[in-house]
Structure 1
């Protein structure tokens, strides 16, 4: 296969880059503002030049990086586009305009292909006008565009997570991204069963596995490893742990006695994702900010470890996350599931 060069903007911890590499793309350059995410990226992608810098300070891309076939990809910070974040879901939020920096760099690089990834809420924002403007910017930059909303669970990821992918071709080609027919759902149980048994507040990073893998997904994630990192769990207060006891798999905060929810001004207005205990016999709900949402382990009364969340995102166990625990949790939750990204890039490779 011909050498295809990749450039990752707003790379985060590197979920999209990992998916691109799995598809055979040589990712040579990445830009990420957050220092801890950049540290994680560099550790796991040592051959990629990582620029730990605000993208607004980038005014050139080394031309030697983009000789031959190339693809520029990434997703501008998406919190402002989320349908669950109405407070910042508008054009007055400056973070919602960072996609313009993606367009600016796109015009600098002029790659053969581009992939713009984001939350699905961006399509609905301001009755679709904002999204139409984004697509027009890509078209004006010289790209033929198609876009699709894909659910990670359809591509081997043990998590129901919808993401939007806009694909742009410099050569007038279109790619039809479709869910795999009759895709097998990877269950939470298969993703987590072989990992170490942990307690609330677990703080030993590297541990051996609990048992041998007994399913294809666990084998894929382990890849022969005997131990791995990331077995870190937030330490919840006693009153939080007491709430966990009332929640069965597939249930949320509504199962908690009202007298245990007095610190909420109006418990009945809690989001449905708060205090959700994962079902072991199905794919996970969206991981996202799993610490803040108090997502509960399916059979232990505690939150998820970094490694457990990474498994639900399809990061292999060899992937190590850097920085304080809160930052590691954020890196995992913000990432594009690598197996989902892999599918998108494979489709692009087929057209090259």
Structure 2
């Protein structure tokens, strides 16, 4: 080994956190875990010596420890990562599932900490993780552990759906079958159900989508009755068979088709959600109704409460109160707030408490701007075709580069990934109408015709960036159609990566949309670097060169 601390990156994505830790000069990444194929390509292209694992639920952590031994060390010093976590919301009727599988991935992170037993860890997540919306449902599998850790549970009224027919029959069925496998009452073919469900949500475009669906499902008609193992009541079976007749007959009135379809879909969704409750062993008494809603009371507990209790039980101290950092405070030309838990093994940290790093740039007037990060690419017209990127483009020479741009250019005269979405005539007309800082809602109504509900369009759609401010949170800006501040074109992948503080020697792989998505999903490396510096301080290491030295102008450094 090189004398560096060993680290494992969980849910690594393209590798933003890994890059931040590597930049400290004190960390070597032993292994990373990432399930997305395109992100895996990018990670390995930039970290070729790292052992990469796929689905975290199938990782054998003994193999990671074996990798440590192969590299001359007995243990993992640091584990970091950002497990996806989706908030619990009883109001969202469009969710396909009652229980988000993503929430369970948070527990996989905890499992890794338990098995690898690092000296320190960093958990990164959305800032909303600290809200009470991020909850786990209590199950019979974890009840003893949750009670034993003193975590407070609360009761939530959860709606499985709203029914207008068969309400009494369905309620009786659910309560009588509470411990039975509900799956056998569901539509067997999930592809068929998905197409029917999609059609049910497209009533406004009925003629177009009904024609497409009829064509797509015609092979199912012959075995329609056998598409359920069991029918939960005879009346529902009649409704199911009626739906086939209405779909087969192209003269069927639209209202009849969609009325029947809606009843079938709602009932199926309720049974599927009841199946989730059963499969996951959730603690439940019985189902009941309020008006037309099928309701069940479920016990929940807050994800952050669980994490804090669990990490304490594993022997770590961590930041208890200050949880959220803004990337703009650490040199990013972007306002992006993320939650961090930084944990250190009891006994290794002499301080009474663990805290997140203090902001380096405090004054918002001194934040780096979009112009600071991408001005040298202003007149370098991006590629549209991915294959053209094999020949890198030449950057403009900037005489007075700011420290951020010096870091971002990485000493290279050329640039890869300067690729953008092709701009069609309708989009170009919108681009030309918008000034810096304006978005879709600033357009004249005559330019909004392609949107079915323009009022509900987010403020980030068709956003023309302002050169003189940091950007907002970078997500998948291809989907949002972000516009260059002074050119009538889309923001390129490289420009988005610059806003995220990926230097130009970090190359993204995969399709165009995959690259935009990887950039949007990433932790800004400079923000990761700030947190890495802080953890290393608690582990007795000092950075070779501090982040403050790298990215601050003299007048922005706090004395």
Tell me the TM-score normalized by structure 1.
Answer: 0.92
Identify if the C-alpha distance between structure 1 residues 68 and 97 changes in structure 2 by more than 3 Å, giving closer, same or farther: closer
Bigger mean CA deviation after superposition, 9-18 or 292-301: 292-301
Which of 327, 338, 346 does residue 152 from structure 1 map onto? 327
SS in structure 2 at match of 1:298: coil
- Whether the 8 Å CA contact 1:200–1:302 is kept in 2: the answer is no
Note the C-alpha offset of 1:271: 1.1
Q: Which residue, out of 296, 304, 312, partners 1:131?
A: 304
Identify the match of residue 254 of structure 1 among 428, 432, 441: 441
Cα distance in structure 2, aligned partners of 1:225 and 1:143 = 42
- Farther-moved stretch of structure 1 (266-275 vs 170-179): 170-179
Measured after TM superposition, the shift of residue 113 of structure 1 is 0.6
The structure-2 alpha-carbon separation of the partners of 1:249 and 1:141, relative to structure 1 and needing over 3 Å to count, comes to same
Aligned partner of 1:343 in structure 2 is 530
Q: Which residue of 1 aligns with 2:40?
A: 38
Q: Could you say if the C-alpha distance between residues 329 and 89 of structure 1 is closer, same or farther in structure 2, counting changes exceeding 3 Å?
A: same
Alignment partner, residue 301 of structure 1: 488
User: Is the aligned partner of 1:201 residue 2:384?
Assistant: yes
Tell me the residue number matched to 1:47: 49
Q: 1:175 aligns with which of 354, 360, 364?
A: 354
- Confirm or deny: 8 A CA contact 1:4 1:25 kept in the other structure: yes
Corresponding residue number in structure 1 for 2:266: none
What SS is found at the alignment partner of 1:245? Answer: helix
TM-score (normalizing by structure 2)? 0.59
CA contact (8 A) 2:318 2:355 kept: no
- Pairwise mapping of residues 208-247 of structure 1 onto structure 2 (< 5 A)? 208-212=394-398, 214-247=401-434
1:289-347 per-position Cα deviation (integer Å, ceiling 9, x unaligned): 11111111111112111110110000010000001111011111100000000010101
Q: Select the residue among 270, 290, 298 that pairs with 2:457.
A: 270
State the secondary structure of the residue aligned to 1:193.
helix
Alignment counterpart, residue 102 of structure 2, candidates 84, 95, 104:
95
Measured after TM superposition, the shift of residue 93 of structure 1 is 1.2
* Greater fraction helix: 2
CA deviation vs aligned residue, 1:38-59 (integer Å, no higher than 9, x gap): 11111101222122x1000113
* Counterpart-to-counterpart distance in 1, 2:132 and 2:84: 15
The alignment status of 1:187 with 2:369, answered yes or no, reads yes
Please state if 1:322 is matched with 2:509. Answer: yes
Mapped partners of 1:240, 1:190: distance in 2: 27
Distance 2:382 2:434 in 1: 17
Q: How many residues align?
A: 349
CA contact (8 A) 2:331 2:361 kept: no
In structure 1, what is the Cα distance between the partners aligned to 2:525 and 2:432?
33
8 Å CA contact 2:328–2:361 kept in 1: the answer is no
RMSD of aligned Cα (Å): 2.4
Q: Does 1:288 align with 2:466?
A: no
Task: Specify whether residues 150 and 82 from structure 1 end up closer, same or farther in structure 2 by C-alpha distance, changes over 3 A only.
Answer: farther
Q: 1:126 offset after TM fit, Å?
A: 2.1
**1:45-77 CA distances to partner (integer Å, 9 max, x unpaired)?**
1222122x1000113243252635711000112
Deviation string 1:63-118 (CA, Å, 9 cap, x unpaired) is: 2526357110001124x2499x9666997211122111111111110001111000
Residues of 2 paired with 1:112 and 1:124: CA distance? 28
Q: C-alpha separation between the residues in 1 aligned to 2:337 and 2:120? A: 22
Query: How much has 1:22 moved relative to structure 2?
Result: 0.8
Structure 2: state its 5+ residue gaps: 136-301, 540-559
Name structure 1 gaps, 5 residues minimum: none
Change (3 A) 1:81 1:159: farther
4+ runs of 1 displaced by more than 4 Å? 85-91
